[in-house]
Amino acid sequence: MTNILSIKNVSKVYHTPKGEIVATKNISLDIEDGDFVAIVGPSGCGKSTLLSILNGQEKASSGTINYHNKTIGYMLQEDALFDWLNVLDNCLIGLKIKGKLDSDSKEYVLNLLNKYGLKDFIYSYPRNLSGGMRQRVALIRSLAIKPDILLMDEPFSALDFQSRLNISNDVYSILKAEHKTLVIVTHDISEAVTLCNKVVILSKRPSYIKKVYDINFDQNTLPSERRNTPLFNEYYQLIWKEIDYE
Ligand X SMILES: Nc1ncnc2c1ncn2[C@@H]1O[C@H](COP(=O)(O)OP(=O)(O)OP(=O)(O)O)[C@@H](O)[C@H]1O
Quote the least distance from Cβ 186 to Mg ion, whole Å: 10
Partners of 66 in beta bridges: 6
- In the bound complex, what is the minimum distance in angstroms from residue 94's beta carbon to ligand X? 24
Cβ-proximal residue to Mg ion, closest one: 48
Q: What gap in Å lies between CA 180 and CA 158, rounded to an integer?
A: 24
Are 129 and 137 within 8 A, CB to CB?
A: yes
Dist. CA 130–CA 158, nearest whole Å: 12
Angle (CA) 98-87-34 rounded to 5° is 65
Nearer to ligand X, 37 or 95 (CB): 37
Q: How is the beta sheet containing 198-202 ordered, strand by strand?
A: 72-75, 149-153, 181-185, 36-40, 198-202, 209-214
State the nearest-atom distance from the C-beta of 164 to ligand X, in Å: 17
**Considering CB distances under 5 to 8 angstroms, the limit depending on partner class, which of ligand X, Mg ion, none binds residue 14?**
ligand X
Residue 74 Cβ vs ligand X, minimum distance, rounded to whole Å: 14
2 binds, among Mg ion, ligand X, none (CB under 5 to 8 A by kind): none
Closer to ligand X by Cβ: residue 16 or 69? 16
Binding residues vs Mg ion (CB under 5 A)? 48
Question: 18 or 179: whose CB is closer to ligand X?
Answer: 18
Q: Which residues bind ligand X (CB under 6 A)?
A: 14, 16, 21, 23, 43-49, 205
Nearer to Mg ion, 76 or 238 (CB): 76
C-alpha 68/C-alpha 227 separation (Å) is 34
